Amino acid sequence: MSLVAFDFESEAIDTRPNYPPIPVGLAVYVDGEQPYYMAWGHPTANNCTFDHARRKFASILQQDHQFIAHNLPFDAAIVEERFELSFPWYNANDSMLQAFLLNPFGELSLKPLAEFYLGEAPTERDAVRDWLVANGVCRALDKSWGAHISKAPGDVVGPYAIGDVRKTMGLYKLFKDKIDQRSSKFHEASRRYTYTPGEDMSPEEAARTLR
């Protein structure tokens, strides 16, 4: 079973009934292979059609993979409602949910998490924003510039989307190790506190072992 990180780029996000948004591209990263971006809905520099991307991803979904996304419900909704494909929820993980489990009061956005944990600066993001500003799509101080990503050329957005799936894959692996370690500590503390005669731990002592 391979890990597959995926990430859709789309038109501006709205509420239902206009949600999920119309996708314009899809980045896919099969662990151990080169990630790629399928662009079909950008104004220029597309490299495939919607139907080609849908067929390609349908073939990936039919394989025995474990799927990863950052904010999985968003991307899975596009799979199910825009691609009209069945999504294997039983074989899926969300790196945003992992971040929440590790620190419920901490950062949940992909780029800041990747910069903090992986040391990866969001250079691809800056390149897309710079193009949008330079071409008059949005202003330099516009905080909602991300709603206009679909208006940039496919070859400008491609590195951005590929960077996102690389970050998602890296965070997933790192967070999984951290969660597994905490789980092991929890089970060990629980076992000692509950079952070991003469070595019982107080709840406070058990909690300290999880830090």
**Omega of the bond leading into 20 within 30 degrees of 0 (cis):** yes
Mean pLDDT, residues 50-77 taken together: 97
Q: Which residues contact 157 (CB under 8 A, 6 or more apart)?
A: 9, 25, 37, 39, 42, 128, 149
What is the model's pLDDT at position 1? 78
More confident site: 177 or 209 = 177
Nearest in space to 66 (alpha carbons), one of 142, 151, 169? 169
Chain length of the chain: 211
pTM over 0.95: no
Q: Determine what percent of the chain is predicted with pLDDT higher than 90.
A: 81
Amino acid letter, residue 196: T
33-45 b/e (C-beta count within 10 Å ≥ 16 → b):
eebbbbbbbbeee
What is the model's pLDDT at position 182? 85
Q: How many CA atoms lie within 13 A of 57 on its CB side?
A: 33
What is the model's pLDDT at position 28? 98
Tell me the per-residue pLDDT of 91-141, one tens digit each, with 9 for 90 and over: 999 999 999 999 999 999 999 999 999 999 988 988 999 999 999 999 988
Domains of the chain, start order? 2-185 (3.30.420.10)
Q: Where in 34-191 does DSSP place strands (E)?
A: 36-39, 65-69, 92-94
The mean-pLDDT minimum among 86-90, 129-133, 153-157, 199-203 falls in: 199-203
Distance from C-alpha of 167 to C-alpha of 176, rounded to nearest angstrom: 14
Check if the beta carbon of residue 38 is closer than 8 Å to that of residue 56: yes
What is the model's pLDDT at position 91? 96
What is the model's pLDDT at position 194? 53
Q: Output the six-digit token pair for 99.
A: 């971040």
